[in-house]
Structure 1
Amino acid sequence: MTRRIAPLPHRHVLTLPARPASVRTARETTQQLLAEWGISPHHPAVDPALLILSELVTNSVRHAASHSPHVTVSYAAGYDTLVFAVHDRHPYQPTLRTTPTGTTAGAVTGAATGGATTGLATVAELTSSLAGSAVVHQDGDGGGKSICITLPL
């Protein structure tokens, strides 16, 4: 027997230019949406979710702007779940994983180094600490990706 998953009732899509000011806009939009959807700003998942979102949008702005003039953030929420994904058209596919010691880290290989490594480690650590999940989805044509975060509320 297959369990059917109910769709999340709240959805929103935000497309922004790949510029530094877009990080603030994405964060403010997220705060506004969560309030509209009845998720308290004092909920223990909200501040970490905002930091995760900020890190992902910052990485897209810093590292993907040459390939992707826009960054898209998609949101969905229900009474017990918050999901958001940050999409850009840069072909690099980062890996988010748990290290052998059990702590989480963002493993970045290839051309991306420095701040992206630290930011992805923060994303992986915060997501794990909230018992959430982080998944990288490659675009069908291989020319971009979405990093999808699912957090329990």
Structure 2
Amino acid sequence: MTENAGIRHGSVPGSRGRTDIADVVVEKIAGMAARDVRGVYALGSGFARSMGSMRERMPGAGAGKSVTRGVSVEVGEVQAAIDLEIVVYYGTSITDVAGAVRESVISAVERLVGREVVEVNIMVSDVKLPEEEDDEEEGQRVQ
């Protein structure tokens, strides 16, 4: 009989090495999770949205809305803290929307990133009124 001459490792392959996750990854996940909540019109302040809208129209600036606008994170080895600035639709309960955003963001970040979310601070910076034009329509003189 022959002996097993293969190399045996005492640990599973997933524990050999380190995985670093950039802050922008957590920002994008948190931003997407917040935008998916019913009652959220946008993330970021009115000024940030206006500047972002202008930036997106510039050639070479990339297409689509910035997922990280209005999102700020601090990510450690095992924990994360998240700050969000949101705009809600008029007529929705701000406390209900904020609670749903908090729950959605915590769930997404903990599931996808594997970091314990210690806090999600939400700043409601504006309310989208029904008669207000959308950001995409602002500045257009001709259709």
TM-score of the superposed pair, with normalisation by structure 2:
0.31
Give the structure with higher Rg (CA): 2
TM normalised by structure 1 equals 0.30
